[in-house]
Amino acid sequence: MTKQKLTILLASPRGFCAGVDRAIHIVEEALRRYGRPVYVRHEIVHNRFVVEDLKAKGAIFVDELDDVPDGVPVIFSAHGVPQSVPAEAERRNLFYLDATCPLVTKVHYEAQQHWRDGRQIIMIGHAGHPEVVGTMGQVPEGTMILVETLEDVAKLEPADPEKLSFITQTTLSVDDTAAIVEALRARFPAMVGPRKEDICYATTNRQQAVKAIAGRCDALMVVGAPNSSNSKRLVEVAARSGCERSMLVQRASDLDWSTLADISVLGVTAGASAPDILIEEVLDAARTHFDVTIEEVTVTDETISFKLPAALTA
């Protein structure tokens, strides 16, 4: 039987960013140097496939330092941690490696500087996300206010409107964040912002790539995890940019391809913590059901890389 033709628009950039790549390499190099087990506080990145692969290699993932025994290395996840976490590790004389993405660390430094300058800090982000928890933990409790929506902006009552600053989570929707910043600036003209936007290059690039293909797609798949902020934002961006039939997919095996029998153009991208193997799984599965033609749509080339901690390179 002749297969139905399907054009796949493959967004680029997609998948792993430099911060995710660095974090995974930190765990792998620690295992190579120090042997099994190496403990990791929280998921190193938000992807179940990556976590299970590292578990198989000897990594043990825990929720808190209380679950880490003495005398073994521990790694902090790419999302960053409150200052209390390394302080506790030092109190216990634990050997730790910090896999926080350098672009998240940049936001941490901004928060600390704003606090030292006597400014109340507004953080734009999602409550409970590990990155937000880590960033809010860089300054004393009560000196940072979390804002998630325009409604939150309208209800803000800062201690001193003339001594305000803002920072953002690195994995937000670029457009949503711009609207919130605009509303904040309208209410608080004296507010100080970051010198360079906090939303990271990888988040911005992947959203731009989705915008470039969404209007041409009958459906669009984002390969990523349900707890991945940047992956969920890609689904939202696709829906707003011309492809309402956008979906988050963890693995090709999760898909019911019969629900896509009516489409002729499929967009495919992946969140910044999704490995290439999961994208290839989706493309291979598509080929079993359709006569596939792949068109890669590139909006920019990424050349950024981050160094491993000095303890792993000496």
Active site residues: 131
Q: Which two tokens stand for residue 18?
A: 């430099």
Q: Look up tokens 């961006």; give the residue.
A: 237
Kindly state the tokens that stand for 190: 């004296």
Label residue 242 left, alpha or beta by phi (over 0 means left) and psi (-120 to 50 means alpha).
left
Q: Do 165 and 112 contact (CB within 8 A), yes or no? A: no
DSSP character for 209?
H
